[in-house]
C-alpha cells in the first residue's frame, strides 16, 4: 500500500465520524493557534520597541537624580534621593564634551496637567525642555517653530504640541498655530506642531505639550530643580559619552572616588536590551502555557485512536485475513493520527493568522505572523500526531487475526 492510499483511507476514516474528529482536533487547533499568536504578539512588541528607540535616537542618554542602587530598586525612570542635577549642567556638558562625544544636552522636567481651549479640556503630559529638545529626541516640527533660547531664558509662555493634543483640543480642525491655550492657570501660545510619532514604550508619544523648561519648572510646577538631563551623543560614541559625563558630573559634585555617584545615567540601547529581554521571557512563558494545549490535544488523539482500534477490531481482522501485513495496519492507524493532528495544526495556523490580522487592524497591538512560528507549530503538531498515534497503531497491528474476526 503506497502513501497516497494510506492518506485516502485516513481521510475516509476521519470523515466517517466528522464531529468526533473535529472535537478531537480542538486541542491541537487551540494549542498551535495560541503558540503562533503569543509569539506574534511578543515579536511584534519587540519590533515596535526597537522602532521607537530608533525614532528617539539610539544615542540618547538620560541622567537622573539618585544613585544606581536606588534606581535599580525603583525603576529606570525613578528620581531618587537628593536632587543634585542643575540646569547649568546641560551647558557644562555641551561646553566640555562637544569636541569629543556629545552633540547636545538639555534640562528636562515633566508633569501632567489639564490643557484647556475654549470649552475643550484635556489632561496631558507637559514636558519642559530646552530649545534643542527636538534634535536630541528626534522630533520634527511639522508646522510652526520651536521656542528659542531667548524664550527659555525669559520663561516665555510658549509651547509646541503633539498631534494627539491637537485632536482633543481642536476637534473642529482649526489651525493650532498662534492659538492660546491654558495650562493650569497660565496662558500658553502654540508656536509649533510636532510630527506624529505614534505609540511608544511609555504610551502615546504624541500626547505631549513641550514648553521651555524654565517656564514649566518655575511657573507651573513651582520648583527650582530639574528632573533630569537629556543628552545626545555623537554617532557610535554613546558609551564614551556616558563615561565622560559621569566623570564630569562627579568632578563638579566633588564625589570621592570610593563613593557612589548621586545620579544615574541610562542609555537608550540599555533600555532596548532590558525591554527586549523582558519581552523574550514573557513570550516564552506565554508560548509554554499555550503549548500545554498541544499536549492535551495529543492525549485526546491517542484516546480516540484507542477507541477507534476497539471499534474497528473486526475490520482489522478481515484485512489481516486477506493478506494485510502488520506494518500496513500500523501505518494506516499512524497515518490517521498524523493526518488528524496536521489538519488541526493547519486550522490552528489559519485561525492564528486571522486573530493577528484582527489585532493589527482593530487595535494598537503590534503583531506579526512569524514564518518560523508557523513551521514550528505545524511540525510540532505532526510530532504530536506521531507520538499520540503510535501506541494505538501498534496495538492494532498486534491484534490476533482469529480473535479479531470473532470480535463482536
Residues 6+ apart with CB under 8 A from 281: none
Q: How far is CA 276 from CA 281, 342, 360, in A?
A: 9, 32, 20
How crowded is residue 361: how many other Cβ atoms within 10 Å of its Cβ?
8
Q: How far is CA 376 from CA 150, 183, 306, 349, 353, in A?
A: 60, 53, 27, 11, 14
As given in the structure block, the three cell numbers for residue 370 are 512569524
- Which pTM does this prediction carry? 0.61
Report residue 159: phi and psi, to 5°. Answer: -160, 160
End-to-end CA distance of the chain: 27
Q: For residues 285 and 338, what is the distance between their CA atoms, to the nearest angstrom?
A: 27
Report residue 209: phi and psi, to 5°. Answer: -120, 130
Q: How far is CA 19 from CA 14, 15, 23, 206, in A?
A: 9, 8, 6, 51
Local confidence pLDDT in tens for the 408 residues of the chain: 567 777 777 777 777 777 877 887 888 888 888 888 888 887 787 777 666 666 655 688 899 988 765 444 444 444 445 789 998 999 999 999 988 999 999 999 999 999 999 889 999 999 999 998 888 888 889 999 999 999 999 999 999 999 999 999 999 888 999 999 999 889 999 999 999 887 655 567 889 999 999 999 999 998 888 889 999 888 888 889 999 999 999 999 999 888 888 999 888 777 767 777 777 787 777 777 767 777 777 777 777 777 777 777 777 777 777 777 777 777 777 888 888 888 888 898 899 889 888 888 887 677 788 888 888 778 877 887 787 777 777 777 777 777 656 655
Contact present, 189 and 158 (Cβ < 8 Å): yes
As given in the structure block, the three cell numbers for residue 262 are 548621586
CB burial of 127-166 (b: ≥16 within 10 Å; e: otherwise) equals bbbbbbbbebbbbeeeebebbeeebbeeebbbbbbbbbbb
Amino acid at each position: 500500500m503506497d502513501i497516497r492510499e494510506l492518506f485516502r483511507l485516513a481521510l475516509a476514516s476521519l470523515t466517517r465520524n466528522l464531529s468526533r474528529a473535529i472535537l478531537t482536533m480542538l486541542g491541537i487547533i487551540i494549542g498551535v493557534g495560541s503558540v503562533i499568536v503569543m509569539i506574534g504578539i511578543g515579536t511584534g512588541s519587540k519590533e515596535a520597541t526597537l522602532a521607537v528607540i530608533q525614532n528617539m535616537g539610539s544615542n540618547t542618554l538620560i541622567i537622573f537624580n539618585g544613585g544606581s542602587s536606588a534606581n535599580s530598586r525603583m525603576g529606570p525612570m525613578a528620581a531618587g534621593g537628593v536632587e543634585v542635577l542643575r540646569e547649568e549642567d546641560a551647558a557644562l556638558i555641551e561646553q566640555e564634551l562637544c569636541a569629543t562625544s556629545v552633540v547636545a544636552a538639555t534640562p528636562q522636567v515633566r508633569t501632567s496637567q489639564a490643557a484647556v481651549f475654549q470649552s475643550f479640556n484635556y489632561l496631558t503630559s507637559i514636558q519642559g525642555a530646552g530649545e534643542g529638545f527636538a534634535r536630541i529626541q528626534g522630533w520634527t516640527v511639522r508646522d510652526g517653530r520651536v521656542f528659542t533660547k531667548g524664550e527659555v531664558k525669559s520663561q516665555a509662555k510658549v509651547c509646541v504640541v503633539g498631534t494627539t493634543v491637537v485632536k482633543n483640543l481642536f476637534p473642529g480642525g482649526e489651525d493650532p498655530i498662534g492659538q492660546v491655550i491654558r495650562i493650569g492657570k497660565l496662558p500658553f501660545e502654540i508656536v509649533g506642531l510636532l510630527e506624529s510619532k505614534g505609540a511608544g514604550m511609555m504610551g502615546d508619544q504624541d500626547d505631549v505639550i513641550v514648553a521651555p523648561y524654565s517656564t514649566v519648572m518655575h511657573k507651573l510646577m513651582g520648583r527650582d530643580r530639574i528632573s533630569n538631563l537629556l543628552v545626545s551623543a555623537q554617532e557610535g560614541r554613546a558609551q564614551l559619552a556616558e563615561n565622560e559625563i559621569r566623570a564630569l558630573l562627579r568632578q563638579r559634585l566633588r564625589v570621592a572616588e570610593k563613593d557612589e555617584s548621586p545620579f544615574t545615567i541610562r542609555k537608550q540601547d540599555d533600555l532596548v536590551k532590558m525591554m527586549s529581554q523582558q519581552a523574550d521571557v514573557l513570550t516564552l512563558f506565554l508560548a509554554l502555557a499555550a503549548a500545554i494545549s498541544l499536549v492535551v490535544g495529543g492525549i485526546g488523539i491517542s484516546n480516540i485512536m484507542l477507541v477507534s482500534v476497539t471499534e474497528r477490531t473486526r475490520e482489522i481482522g478481515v484485512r489481516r485475513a486477506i493478506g494485510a501485513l502488520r506494518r500496513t495496519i500500523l501505518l494506516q492507524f499512524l497515518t490517521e493520527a498524523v493526518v488528524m493532528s496536521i489538519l488541526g495544526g493547519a486550522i490552528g495556523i489559519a485561525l492564528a493568522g486571522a486573530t493577528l490580522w484582527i489585532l493589527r487592524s482593530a487595535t494598537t497591538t503590534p503583531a506579526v505572523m512569524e514564518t518560523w512560528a508557523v513551521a514550528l507549530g505545524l511540525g510540532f503538531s505532526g510530532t504530536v500526531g506521531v507520538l499520540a498515534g503510535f501506541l494505538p497503531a501498534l496495538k492494532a497491528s498486534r491484534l490476533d487475526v482469529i480473535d479479531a474476526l470473532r470480535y463482536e
